Amino acid sequence: MKKAIGYAVVLALLLTGCGGSKAAADPALKIGGVTIEDTLSAASVLDVLNGLGGSYEYAEAISCVYDGMDKTYTYENAVVYTYPDGGVDKLMELYCTGGDVQTPAGIALGDSRDQVVETYGDGYTEAGTVLSYEKETASPDNEPASLYFEFTDGKVSAIGIISEHRSE
């Protein structure tokens, strides 16, 4: 009887591992082999993109939420949005539409919607052609950090990350 219970426990443990685990949908991207996380400073993200030899167009506007200027850097295959916080520009969003970009779990431009859901699971929100995997916020007054995928004809056409930031 003890052996039967032991086998049942081992079998139950093995079965709970079936189906594999899903990758964590942490807001991070790998560009040119360098990992960019949502918590990096805007300067660090720009250093990576500039190091890949890209030139950019620059725009700024007075921030509606923060004291200072919101800034936008538009590269050939990426757009970086920043916001001012205590005299430092922080990353708000990185939106990539081309080049050597993928998630740490290996999802890249051109992959299917099914591949994204198979990799990250069904804990997403969907708005039109975008699937977004959001993290819990540190404050209810903040917008959540997220990893998101935009689709064209069922294939990933853009990948982006958004940093947690204060709401309006």
Query: Rounded mean pLDDT of 118-127?
Result: 96
CA distances from 48 to 79, 82, 115 (A): 13, 15, 27
Residue 27 DSSP one-character state: S
Amino acid at 146: S
Amino acid at 25: A
pLDDT at 101 exceeding the cut of 90 = yes
pTM value? 0.84
pLDDT at 21: 54
Distance CA 6, CA 116 (A): 38
Q: What is the mean pLDDT of the chain?
A: 86
Q: In which band, very low, low, confident or very high, does the pLDDT at 69 lie, cut at 50, 70 and 90?
A: very high
Q: Give pLDDT tens digits for 129-150.
A: 999 999 988 888 889 999 999 9
For residue 39, give the nearest of 80, 92, 102 by alpha carbon. 92
